[in-house]
């Protein structure tokens, strides 16, 4: 076996966290802790880039597979990546260091603990995206919520307890059902190894129930309508870095889960439940867009827009068209970059003015021009302007959806109009207009670290808008084979 690159990706942040745990805080000086965290996450990012470079794009087989016995005859610690998962790993390793840089201003107390939570979370997230055993996946998937729960509960805003509780209640419901489903799969098939399950297939008569159990977990975390109401509350209370991680990475676990498990393991059930997914996705896109229009809190607005964007993702996945699934994956990556950036943008003004209310701003373009330009860029990416990554995702999804179902595509396309309305209106109310609030004049423009973070997010947003080939080439073969496998399964019945 070669060098266990995936395991090192998973473990490295944890090692960093351990370091932090055993170092003593000097009074009022947390820079060492930050450097340790930053160092381990950046090294992790570089490793993941190396992983991407050495990844073979011409096959859909899992690569860099590690297989160790964990519990004899029951669970194997098995990890590996294919074209679909590798992008999510890179997204995770890319976003985390940016989060760590961003905690400068927003987290005042117990910074060291905060960093530990972020690092542990990175480990779990990477674990989710490369786990090839259902039990291992489940463990990472659920464990990833604990640091998030703590981040909201400890460093959150005034209503943090309510939000953390709501977050927990929703996710708990889904998790329990998924665990039951995984145990049943073990009883039915005798294994929880994903690759073997792909080959064996699961008896069609069990698929519907199992699919629903997985769905209940994924739907909550996506989040799909109507189990989305935890997200706005969680975002509003979470500190900036928490919101960024939540929006950029945590939400993607479910989308990834839909592709890897719901589609891969339960092809028949996926066909059966496609109308359900379509309905919920379309409702999510339209309803939450209207709701976003009326928000007064910037973070809530972006949270609701996230629900709408994730509605596009679930829609695209279940079109089972090449364009639809590829669009969904690109949309997830793009949303990871753009929503992260938007939450950071809110964080920037929040750090200065301590208000997230839209009406306390207005007319700041002349005061903080650099910020305004970058904020504009991400606003445009969020509304899916061609030339940004948001467009590629949305357009491919709708193209795929149109092939499968006219009505769904038409309604979902309406979301594009609404998206323009609520994003531009938000931007106008915050940045343009007359300067009414005199306090705003004291605001200073982006400092170096903020500028760095937002630029780091802006580059791929634009790059993949004009040249999405690196993304598409990586996923192309895996998606093709996934669809082929699905179609053979359906045909064989």
Partner 1 sequence: MELSIIFLPLIASIISGFFGRYIGDRNSEIVTSALVSISALLSIHVLYQVIVNQYEENIVIATWISSGSLDVNWSMLIDPLSAVMLVVVTSVSALVHIYSIGYMSHDPHKPRFMAYLSLFTFAMLMLVTSDNFIQLFFGWEGVGLCSYFLIGFWFKKESANAAAIKAFVVNRVGDFGFALGIFLIFYLFGTVNYSEVFQQIPTVVDKNLFFLGFEVNAIDLVCFLLFIGAMGKSAQILLHTWLPDAMEGPTPVSALIHAATMVTAGVFLVVRCSPIYEYSPLVLNFITIVGMTTAFFAATVALVQTDIKKIIAYSTCSQLGYMFFAAGVGAYNVAMFHLFTHAFFKALLFLGSGSVIHAFKDEQNINNMGGVWKKLPYTYALMIIGTLALTGFPFLSGFYSKDAIIEFAYLKGNTTGYYAAGIGIITAFLTSIYSWRLIFKTFHGEYNNKEIKIEETHESPLVMLVPLFVLSIGAVFAGFLFKGLFIGHGENLFWAESIKFLEPLSTEHPPLWFLLLTPCLVLLSIPIAYYFFVKNKELPNSIASMNKPLYNFLVNKWYFDELYDVLFIKSSKKLGLFLWKFCDGTIIDGFGPDGISSFIKKCSIKATKFQSGFIYQYAFVMLLGFSALLTFLIVK
Chain contacts with partner 1 (rule: CB under 8 A) = 165-166, 169-170, 226-227, 229-230, 287, 290-295, 321-323, 326-327, 363, 365, 380, 385-387, 391-392, 395-396, 398-399, 402-403, 406-407, 409-410, 413-414, 416-417, 420-421, 424-425, 428, 431-434, 466-469, 472, 476, 480
Beta carbon nearer to partner 1, 80 or 468: 468
Beta carbon nearer to partner 1, 78 or 228: 228
Q: Are residues 387 and 303 in contact, defined by beta-carbon separation less than 8 angstroms?
A: no
Q: How far is the CB of 324 from partner 1 (least distance, A)?
A: 10
Q: How far is the CB of 18 from partner 1 (least distance, A)?
A: 35
Q: How far is the CB of 347 from partner 1 (least distance, A)?
A: 23
Q: How far is the CB of 428 from partner 1 (least distance, A)?
A: 5
Beta carbon nearer to partner 1, 74 or 467: 467
Q: How far is the CB of 265 from partner 1 (least distance, A)?
A: 23
For 481, the token pair is 């084979």
Write the CA distances from 341 to 41, 86, 148, 263, 369, integer angstroms.
19, 21, 19, 30, 16
Q: How far is the CB of 90 from partner 1 (least distance, A)?
A: 19
Compute the distance between CA of residue 12 and CA of residue 96 in angstroms, rounded to an integer.
Answer: 13
Contacts of 224 (CB under 8 A, 6+ apart): 280, 281, 284, 310, 311, 314
Q: How far is the CB of 42 from partner 1 (least distance, A)?
A: 28
Beta carbon nearer to partner 1, 49 or 414: 414
CA 47 to chain centre: 20
Q: How far is the CB of 19 from partner 1 (least distance, A)?
A: 38
Q: Where are the alpha helices (DSSP H) in 55-133?
A: 83-106, 111-130
Beta carbon nearer to partner 1, 42 or 424: 424
Beta carbon nearer to partner 1, 59 or 229: 229
Beta carbon nearer to partner 1, 276 or 421: 421
Compute the distance between CA of residue 133 and CA of residue 182 in angstroms, rounded to an integer.
Answer: 10
Beta carbon nearer to partner 1, 46 or 436: 436
Compute the distance between CA of residue 125 and CA of residue 140 in angstroms, rounded to an integer.
Answer: 7
Beta carbon nearer to partner 1, 190 or 433: 433
The b-or-e profile of 14-33 (16+ CB within 10 A means b, else e) is bebbebbeeeeeeeeebeeb
Q: How far is the CB of 28 from partner 1 (least distance, A)?
A: 38
Beta carbon nearer to partner 1, 87 or 197: 87
Helix then strand then coil, in percent of the chain rounded to 5, is 75, 5, 20
Could you give the 3-state DSSP secondary structure of residue 75? strand
Contacts of 276 (CB under 8 A, 6+ apart): none
Q: Are residues 136 and 204 in contact, defined by beta-carbon separation less than 8 angstroms?
A: no
Residue count of the chain: 493
Cis upstream peptide for 223 (omega within 30°): yes
Q: How far is the CB of 307 from partner 1 (least distance, A)?
A: 10
Per-position DSSP letters for 429-486, written without gaps between them:
HHHSS----GGGGG-----HHHHHHHHHHHHHHHHHHH--HHHHHHHHHHHHHHHHHH
Residue in 289, 447, 274, 429 with CA at minimum distance from that of residue 359: 429
């Amino acid at each position: 076996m070669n060098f266990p690159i995936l395991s090192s990706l998973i473990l490295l942040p944890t090692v960093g966290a351990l370091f932090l745990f055993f170092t003593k805080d000097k009074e009022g000086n947390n820079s060492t802790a930050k450097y340790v965290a930053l160092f381990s996450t950046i090294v992790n990012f570089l490793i993941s880039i190396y992983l991407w470079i050495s990844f073979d794009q011409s096959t859909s087989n899992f690569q860099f597979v590690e297989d160790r016995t964990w519990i004899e005859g029951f669970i194997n610690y098995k990890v590996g990546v294919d074209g679909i998962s590798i992008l999510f790993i890179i997204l995770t390793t890319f976003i985390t260091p940016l989060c760590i840089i961003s905690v400068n201003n927003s987290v005042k107390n117990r910074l060291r603990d905060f960093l530990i939570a972020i690092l542990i979370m990175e480990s779990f997230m990477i674990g989710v995206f490369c786990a090839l055993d259902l039990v291992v996946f489940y463990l990472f998937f659920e464990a990833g919520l604990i640091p998030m729960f703590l981040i909201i509960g400890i460093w959150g805003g005034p209503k943090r307890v309510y939000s953390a509780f709501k977050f927990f209640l929703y996710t708990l419901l889904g998790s329990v059902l998924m665990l039951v489903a995984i145990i049943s799969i073990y009883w039915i098939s005798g294994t929880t190894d994903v690759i073997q399950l792909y080959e064996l297939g699961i008896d069609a008569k069990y698929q519907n129930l199992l699919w629903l159990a997985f769905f209940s977990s994924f739907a909550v975390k996506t989040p799909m309508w109507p189990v989305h109401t935890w997200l706005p509350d969680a975002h509003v209370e979470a500190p900036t870095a928490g919101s960024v991680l939540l929006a950029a990475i945590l939400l993607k676990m479910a989308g990834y889960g839909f592709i890897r498990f719901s589609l891969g393991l339960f092809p028949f059930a996926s066909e059966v439940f496609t109308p359900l997914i379509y309905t919920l996705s379309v409702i999510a896109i339209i309803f939450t867009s209207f709701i976003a229009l009326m928000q007064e809190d910037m973070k809530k607005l972006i949270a609701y827009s996230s629900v709408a964007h994730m509605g596009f993702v679930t829609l695209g996945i279940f079109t089972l068209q090449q364009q639809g699934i590829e669009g969904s994956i690109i949309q997830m990556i793009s949303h990871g970059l753009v929503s992260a950036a938007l939450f950071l943008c809110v964080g920037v003004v929040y750090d200065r003015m301590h208000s997230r209310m839209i009406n306390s701003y207005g007319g700041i373009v002349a005061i903080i021009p650099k910020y305004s330009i970058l904020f504009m860029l991400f606003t445009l990416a969020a509304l899916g302007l061609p030339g940004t990554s948001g467009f590629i995702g949305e357009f491919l999804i709708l193209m795929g959806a149109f092939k499968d179902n006219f009505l769904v595509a038409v309604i979902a396309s309406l979301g594009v109009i609404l998206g323009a309305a609520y994003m531009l209106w938000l931007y106008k109310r915050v940045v343009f207009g007359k300067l009414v609030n005199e306090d705003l004049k004291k605001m200073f423009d982006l400092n170096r670290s903020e500028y760095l973070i937002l630029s780091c997010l802006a580059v791929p947003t634009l790059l993949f808008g004009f040249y999405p080939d690196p993304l598409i080439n990586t996923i192309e073969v895996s998606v093709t084979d996934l669809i082929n496998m699905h179609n053979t399964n359906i045909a064989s019945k």
